[in-house]
Amino acid sequence: MSTKEEKQRIELLQGTLDLLILRTLLLGPAHGHAIAKAIEFKSDDVLQVEQGSLYPALHRLIRRGWISAEEGTSENNRRAKFYRLTARGRRQLVVETSKWDKFAGAIARILRPAKQEGES
Amino acid sequence: MSIRKRMMQDIDRDIADHIAMETQDNIDRGMSPEEARHAALRKFGNVTRVTEDTRSAWGYVWLEQLWQDLRFGVRMFFKSPGFTAVAVITLALGIGANTAIFSMINAIMFRTLPVKNPRSLVSIKWTARHLPDTGEAGVYSWGGCPDAMPTPQPVSEGCNFSYPMFERFKGEQVLSEVFAMVPSSVPVNAFGHSGRANGLCVSGTFFSMLGVRPLLGRLLIASDDNSSASPAAVVGYRFWKTFLNGDPNIVGKPISFGKARYTLVGIASPEFGGLDPGVPSDFWVPLTFQPGMTFESAPKALWLAMMARLKPGVTASQTEAALSAMFAQNATRGPMAIFKPEDLPGIELPTAAYGLNSLRYDFTRPLLTLLTAVGLVLLIACANIAGLMLARSKARQKEIAMRTALGASRVRIVQQLLAESMLLSLAGGAAGLLLGYWGARTLMLFLSSNWSQPIDLHVQPDAHVLGFTLTASVLVGILFGLAPALNSRNVDLTHALKETTGSAAGTPNGSWFTLANGLIIGQMALTVIVLVGTGLLVRTLTNLKNTNIGFDSKNLVIFDLDATYSSRTATELRDLGPEIRQRIAGMAGVTSVTYSFLPLMKGSRMFAKISSIGPEKQSGELSFLPIAPDFFETMVVPLVVGRTITVQDIREQNTGARRHVAIVNQAFVRRYFGNQRRLGDRFRTADNNEFEIIGVVGDMRHENLRDASLPTVYVPIFNIPGFTGLGTFEVRTAIDSKSLMSAIRAEVSHFDSNLLVTNMKTQTEQIEQNIYQERLVARLSALFTLVALILACVGVHGRLSYQVSMRTQEIGVRLALGAQRGNIARIVLRQAFALTSIGATIGVIAALGLTRFLQSFLYGVKTTDSWTIATACLLLLGWALLASYIPARRAMRIDPMEALRYE
């Protein structure tokens, strides 16, 4: 059923999305919309996140104590909720980043020989 | 405010903010505001789902959703109070009936004794390869084993020991404590009440070992065992309340149990009714004060039962091994030797945590039968409500489609439907619990009035009962909630949303074997099973009641007379029977009076061993009853030939005259004399008395309605030395026998106020009591069957009504195209007929398999009785067609114009 497929997709996304959020917040507190924009912008629009899926992720991170939320005003003077990286979140980012590097490295090692073969 | 709560509250606002910002961005990029908003929403995704997913990040969502679902469910149910009421009442009845029966079973089988640490209590049972040889002492075996089910194995076993053997057990180090007991049933005449009291003679540690506390005064202690102590008695709470009027000043006063006189030293606490759950003991007296008992002189007499407490840390099997060694040694050598060494005597220690459980043997079978019946009824109720829910869920298809379209997951929808059904079943369960308690009490009162002793079972709901009811409710809720829940998964969104309410959504255009039809068929099948079972039980009861018992049981008063408290001498006692007979015979309304050693139809009979009988000098065992003159006249039994017993016979017998006379029944003649009625023939009993046959009478059933008359010998009634019961008087009345009862009592008491009249009832009542199991099972099954029939009727009616309403359009078209109204009705009735027939066929097959278990209950009817099965099927078919009458009529009256405009 469709529910199952969706779940798998979200799960695949989750870890990555969490990492992206943490990375974005390393530069300073931001509100939800700004985080979404930042992710899209920085990845040259390659990562097209369904913006809504940001919110469950944000709340999960708050619950884990990696980010915190506070009231504030946005650039165009709108009231908004700002998310900020906590000390624990900062540590987590290091862990997650190294994990991601290992993962990406592994994927790359698997893919590279195939690519070489294809070229020759 | 907790962070969780705050975050949850802000979700909606945050999302709205987010979308507003995105919209603004889009406008800045040059989109029109409307376009901008749509683009923003598209980019955001499904708002509802995001909200739910975000909430779920905070846990507890499942609970919250459940709460939401329950609240929604309650609202839905208040919207359709009729449906809700029907469903809850149906469930309450179904679950209540199950709870009631289970409460009884629980009280009889699963409750431990209300004593200190019941789990370490054991009974002591001997086992051996052969029966014990007790020599002169004989076996006074009263059971005393817990759960006294007879075991058909070739091992002999028993729970009765001699007094010296009890002392050996008492000295055993492997047991922490042990006490001995023997039951005692005596007439009591005290404080304005008279009757029989049932108690125990116990050794001194009885109460201390069980940890029972006194309500007033003190309980028996070890020093009461000394024969030099003044005899002490303790009475039970119930006995104190009913017999002694609950008088607190009674403690310290003298009281007589039978011939023995005691000082009442205390009253046991109300919780402790004795060792036999449901059968409260009236009194406890020390073992050593049993009159006429000389223990030491009978080292082989097996008459005491024991209970022991295991030592902490020592297992039952370790203790068994140690005790077996001790027992084998003592029981094969020395004065207590009752076994040979090759008999391999040993000791077993069955748990006594549940007490002696004498009710279990009698009540387990009928209760389990009833539990099956109510279980089936509950299933029918389940199918019924599942059908109703299904119809409802069809009507709610649009709502469900709407929810799905708005982003509710399928799991969520199923969860909500299940929550609703659970809500219903729990409401039904709660009501059922109350109903069940009431039912169990009523059931207990019925059993109590038909049992040899008053029954006082604790049927209040305890953890077991609550667990049972809760489990039943939840299972039932899942069972009937599953159908609509599963059905909801197949909703075709676009289709369902487009449909106008209730037109084609339920059209049976697909397979005829839909879930809804399956439910009806299942319901019909279950109903047939219940109907056939009940039919067999009811026929059994009528067969029993119409059995020719050989005597006239109407207008007959019976009562037991006891002369324990009379100051008469043995010789005077001998004349008491005839005197009382004369007194009562002189009363207005009395036709004739007699008495016999035992009452008829009380489930008991006497046996005599005959050593030489008939032309072939056969030996055998036959039924035997000592009677007074006019016995056959009073019971209205035909005298075939010869004469009956006269006053002269009795006198001669009592004065030890040489001649013994006997009257025999026809079964006797058939068996031993090849149907030749020969008077003057003689036979010899095992104790070498010779009897001359002076008459032959018709056959009558003695013990119960079921068993045919055995070869029986009637002899002139005699007095057994030391036995103060005069037997049972039978009084034939010309008027309503009930109205004469108090007059007879008064007459006896006027004659001698020390004579005790007990067990006074009509012979008809006695017979009713004798068949209480059959009556109980037949009546309750009949009641449950009625419920099942009504449920099935409601089910068929509901299903067909629903179909007719769904097919209004189609019927309209048919009518418009010229179909006859009769044909339309026939469509509906054919549907009912088909469903019922299929269900009934399945039911009959299942019933043939299931009713085998009823076999032992039945009398005069076979489990495959075609008449019963046919009646059951026809009855069900009749009901079903009756139930489809209203929907059929509605279908006939559909106005084609109206129906077509419906679109």
The arithmetic mean of pLDDT across residues B352-363, rounded, is 82
Report which listed range, A4-13, B388-397, B797-806, B861-870, is most confident: B861-870
Q: Given this model, what pLDDT does residue B512 score? A: 58
pLDDT tens figures, B280-336: 899 999 987 555 555 545 777 788 889 999 999 899 999 999 999 999 999 898 888
Element (H, E) at B347: strand B346-348
Q: Given this model, what pLDDT does residue A56 score? A: 83
The residue of chain B nearest to residue A55, with distances taken between CA atoms, is B54
The residue of chain B nearest to residue A56, with distances taken between CA atoms, is B54
Identify all chain A residues contacting B57, using CB atoms and an 8 Å cutoff: 56, 59-60, 62-63
CA distance, residue A40 to nearest chain B CA (Å): 12
Q: Do A60 and B17 touch (CB under 8 A)?
A: no
The arithmetic mean of pLDDT across residues B420-431, rounded, is 92
Q: Do A51 and B45 touch (CB under 8 A)?
A: yes
Residue B559 pairs in a beta bridge with: B729
- How far apart CA B718 and CA B660 sit, in angstroms, is 12
The two three-digit tokens of residue B467, written as one number: 């667990």
Vertex B438 angle, CA B437 and B443, to 5°: 95
Q: Given this model, what pLDDT does residue A12 score? A: 44
DSSP H helices, B586-638, are 631-635
The arithmetic mean of pLDDT across residues B347-357, rounded, is 87
Residue B137 in this model has a pLDDT that exceeds 70: no
pLDDT tens figures, A36-72: 888 877 776 666 667 778 888 888 888 888 888 888 7
Lowest mean pLDDT among B406-410, B530-534, B580-584, B683-687: B406-410
Give B110's DSSP letter: I
Residue count of chain A, please give it.
120
Q: Given this model, what pLDDT does residue B495 score? A: 65
- How far apart CA A13 and CA A7 sit, in angstroms, is 10
Q: Given this model, what pLDDT does residue B594 score? A: 94
pLDDT tens figures, B537-596: 999 999 999 999 999 999 999 999 888 888 887 778 778 888 899 999 999 999 999 999
The arithmetic mean of pLDDT across residues B522-528, rounded, is 93
Residue B430 in this model has a pLDDT that exceeds 90: yes
Do residues B774 and B537 make contact, with C-beta atoms less than 8 angstroms apart? yes
The arithmetic mean of pLDDT across residues B79-104, rounded, is 90
Report which listed range, A81-85, B425-429, B678-682, is most confident: B425-429
More confident residue, B902 or B395: B395
Residue B135 in this model has a pLDDT that exceeds 60: yes
Say whether B720 sits in a helix, a strand or coil. coil
Q: How confident is the model at residue B510 (pLDDT cuts 50, 70, 90)?
A: very low
B50: nearest CB among A53, A69, A80? A53
Q: Model's pTM, two decimal places?
A: 0.75
Q: Do B54 and A55 touch (CB under 8 A)?
A: yes
Q: Given this model, what pLDDT does residue A6 score? A: 42
- The mean of the pLDDT values for chain B is 84
Q: Do B44 and A52 touch (CB under 8 A)?
A: yes
- What is the percentage of chain B residues whose pLDDT exceeds 90? 30
Interface of A with B (CB under 8 A): 1, 3, 31-33, 36-37, 50-53, 55-56, 58-60, 62-63, 69, 74, 76, 78-81
Residue B711 in this model has a pLDDT that exceeds 70: yes
Q: Given this model, what pLDDT does residue B141 score? A: 60
Q: Given this model, what pLDDT does residue B541 score? A: 93
> Cβ of B707 under 8 Å from any chain A Cβ?
no
Q: How confident is the model at residue B440 (pLDDT cuts 50, 70, 90)?
A: very high
Per residue in A5-38, is it b (16+ CB within 10 Å) or e — as a string?
Answer: eeeeeeeebeeebbbbbbbbbeeebbbbbbbbbb
CA dihedral sign of residues B289, B294, B300, B302: negative
CA distance, residue A27 to nearest chain B CA (Å): 20
pLDDT tens figures, B226-274: 777 788 999 999 899 988 889 999 999 999 888 788 999 999 999 898 8
- Could you tell me which residues come within 8 angstroms of residue B872 by beta carbon, excluding any fewer than 6 positions away? B528, B531, B532, B535, B840, B844, B847
- How far apart CA B36 and CA B18 sit, in angstroms, is 13
Identify all chain B residues contacting A53, using CB atoms and an 8 Å cutoff: 45, 50, 53
Q: Do A1 and B410 touch (CB under 8 A)?
A: yes
Residue B95 in this model has a pLDDT that exceeds 90: yes
Residue B530 in this model has a pLDDT that exceeds 90: yes
pLDDT tens figures, B596-608: 988 999 887 787 7
Do residues B164 and B335 make contact, with C-beta atoms less than 8 angstroms apart? yes
The interaxial angle of helices B163-170 and B316-332, nearest 10 deg, is: 140
Identify all chain B residues contacting A65, using CB atoms and an 8 Å cutoff: none
Identify all chain B residues contacting A76, using CB atoms and an 8 Å cutoff: 24
Q: Given this model, what pLDDT does residue B138 score? A: 57
Q: State how far the alpha carbon of B273 is from the alpha carbons of A44, B154, B242, B257, in Å.
A: 86, 35, 14, 18
- What is the percentage of chain B residues whose pLDDT exceeds 70? 91
More confident residue, B744 or B415: B744
Lowest mean pLDDT among B6-20, B35-49, B169-183, B860-874: B6-20
Would you give the distance in Å from CA B396 to the centre of its chain? 43
Q: How confident is the model at residue B43 (pLDDT cuts 50, 70, 90)?
A: confident
